[in-house]
Amino acid sequence: MKAPTIDNVAPNLLLAHAPLNSALFNAGLVFLTFIASLPGLTFTTQRTWLKVHSWMVLGCIIVTLVIGLEIWFSTLQTRANLAVMWDAEGPQMQQLLQARWQCCGYMKTPFHTDSTCPNPLAASAKPDCVGPFSNFANGFLDLVFTAMFGMVALDAILLLSGLVVIKKREEEERYRHIDEKCKYTRF
């Protein structure tokens, strides 16, 4: 990870506290689901691989929805969560955040003396960082969980499409068996 700067300190801090292991697991599951779809596309008379693929898509839906809900629930307590993050970070990160939004301290105290907040008198004239930091965090995390919920919608469309193909192949197989019994041949 690059050294923190004024431009990347807030996104890096939020991403460091995001459920990245869950997101990596979800990415692996999506990739395996794609791999499982390939035999279903190539073997046009079989339904087994399509059924496996559909169950895996359902798993992707559930995992993605859980991750999105976890992020969404965390945004309901943004200020409290950010206070814990602020307190856990060292003076360098706090000074970068103060410089980014021209504010002093998370809720006025404690603030770190730097060029943005050189003394208590200057700090009292500037707003605290809770407002700009929580506004940024809400906007950033809103994009993340909205993207997650969008992926759930796309997965649901993929699941329904797969079920339609499974049903169509089942119907074709049924007619093929009827034709075999009646000694008809395919055109």
H/E stretch holding 184: none
How far apart, in whole angstroms, are the C-alpha atoms of residue 158 and residue 152?
10
For residue 118, what pLDDT band results from cuts at 50, 70 and 90?
Answer: confident
C-alpha Rg value of the chain to the nearest Å: 26
Q: Which two tokens stand for residue 177?
A: 């068996």
Q: How many residues does the chain have?
A: 187
26-46: per-residue pLDDT in tens? 999 999 999 999 998 888 888
Q: Which two tokens stand for residue 65?
A: 């929805």
Predicted TM-score (pTM) of this structure: 0.82
Comparing 119 with 24, the larger pLDDT belongs to 24
pLDDT, residue 43, reads: 84
Which positions ≥6 away from 155 have C-beta within 8 Å?
57, 60, 61, 64
Q: Which two tokens stand for residue 137?
A: 């965090």
pLDDT, residue 187, reads: 56
Distance of CA 39 to the CA centre of its chain: 28
Are 25 and 63 in contact, with CB atoms under 8 Å apart? yes
